[in-house]
Amino acid sequence: MKIADFHQRLADLGAKPRHIGRIDRAWLQGWPLDTGTRHQQAQDFLPLSVRAAMPQLSETLDGLVRLRSEHPAADGSARLLVELGDGQMVESVLLPRGGLCVSSQVGCAVGCVFCMTGKSGLLRQLGSAEIVTQVALARRFRPVKKVVFMGMGEPAHNLDNVLEAIDLLGGAGGIGHKNLVFSTVGDPRVFERLPQERVKPALALSLHSTDAELRHRLLPRAPRIDPQELVERGETYARQTGYPIQYQWTLLEGINDSLEEMDGILRLLKGKYAVMNLIPYNSLEADEYRRPGGERIVELVRYLHSRGVLTKVRNSAGQDIDGGCGQLRARATQVEKI
């Protein structure tokens, strides 16, 4: 379901924009719409026809996403395995300090070689209402002040739904616009659409290599945009919005952790309004990819940082509980097949 469909249903029942705004705020806070006392007063302001339909509307929204299981990790994060209305599953991740990582697709068509989600291909898009309901669900556990679109899926491949979700989260959802982070492998449509939006999110760009050929091998179905052009387009958006670009770099031992690659990063990012996030790969048993050792990671961070590129190490949240994107869902799906 799209948010616009839900709003239309309310309007057909006689709700005015101010009523719809109240209902959205209650929905996105994770409050039950039909019972409870906290928003009872707000309900009293609604037209009778809307109040009468509330139990049914509430049931519809509750059926969009359901918590299948929760997996708390030692680092304070928790992965939520979320079941959609048709039985498909996605992951949301509660991050420390009020962050939430949400999914925008079931599966993904980009097929990054190091990503479990990419292995299944694209199964289906999430509707905008399914995307924002992940936030409402998470808020039943803890406050959410930041939402990153870095879960399952390439947000640029579901652009209308993701932008509709961002618009609502940055409005009735009460999330600061720079705390909404749109993550992409660099689809050119993103650079055309985002600057036109009322709510302009921050942007994370998955770089992973400065060598165009290697990048194509790692991200086989990402648009073939040259890394230099990607950075230039990112820089334009960063200057328009006033938020730095977050560059994502999954560190794979022996593949993209060489000093030549680090020099490539310096060449592209020095002087740019950017943060480089090095994400050591979350290795699985019997995996063809490995993360570099701890000392090597520190060496790389120092190398970049001391030469003028702000660099951080970001570990996948919850590494003790299948922390890589899609690993939890893959395991749950395997268990179901046994």
- Active site residues per annotation: 91, 325
Q: What is the rounded distance in angstroms from the CA atom of residue 35 to the CA atom of residue 40?
A: 8
Minimal distance, residue 44 CB to ligand SF4, in Å: 44
Window 157-186: contact mask with ligand SF4 (x via CB under 6 A): ----------------------------x-
Segment contacting ligand SF4 (CB under 6 A): 104-112, 165-173, 283-291, 330-338? 104-112
| Consecutive H or E run containing 66 | strand 65-72
Q: Report the 10 Å Cβ neighbour count for 207.
A: 28
Residues between 238 and 277 with contacts to ligand SF4, criterion CB under 6 A? none
Bridge partners, 65 (sequence order): 84
Q: Which residues contact 259 (CB under 8 A, 6 or more apart)?
A: 303
Q: Angle at which helices 159-169 and 17-28 pack, to 10 degrees?
A: 90
Q: Which stretch binds ligand SF4 (CB under 6 A): 11-19, 152-160, 169-177, 283-291?
A: 152-160
SS3 149: strand
Judged by CB, which is closer to ligand SF4: 218, or 268? 218
Q: State the minimum distance, in angstroms, from the CB of residue 118 to ligand SF4.
A: 3
Q: Cα 257–260–261 angle (5° rounding)?
A: 50
Binders of ligand SF4 among residues 296 to 335 (CB under 6 A) are 325
Q: Smallest distance, Å, CB 295 to ligand SF4?
A: 26
Which of these segments, 78-86, 105-113, 139-147, 260-268, binds ligand SF4 (CB under 6 A)?
Answer: 105-113
Among candidate residues 36, 6, 32, 34, the one with its CA nearest the CA of residue 21: 6
Residue 67, Cβ neighbours under 10 Å: how many? 14
Closest residue to ligand SF4, Cβ-based?
118
The answer to whether 43 and 51 have CB atoms below 8 angstroms apart is: yes
Cα dist from 41 to 33, 35, 164, 335, whole Å: 12, 11, 28, 45
Judged by CB under 6 A, the residue of 64, 80, 82, 108 near ligand SF4 is 108
Residue 280 in the binding site for ligand SF4 (CB under 6 A)? no
- Site track for ligand SF4 across 55-94, x = CB under 6 A: ----------------------------------------
Q: Residue 117 or residue 128: which is nearer to ligand SF4 going by CB?
A: 117
In whole angstroms, give the CA distance from residue 291 to residue 300. 13
Query: Among residues 153, 173, 227, 280, which is the contact residue for ligand SF4, using CB under 6 A?
Result: 153
Residues in contact with ligand SF4 by CB under 6 A are: 108, 110-112, 115, 117-118, 152-154, 185, 325
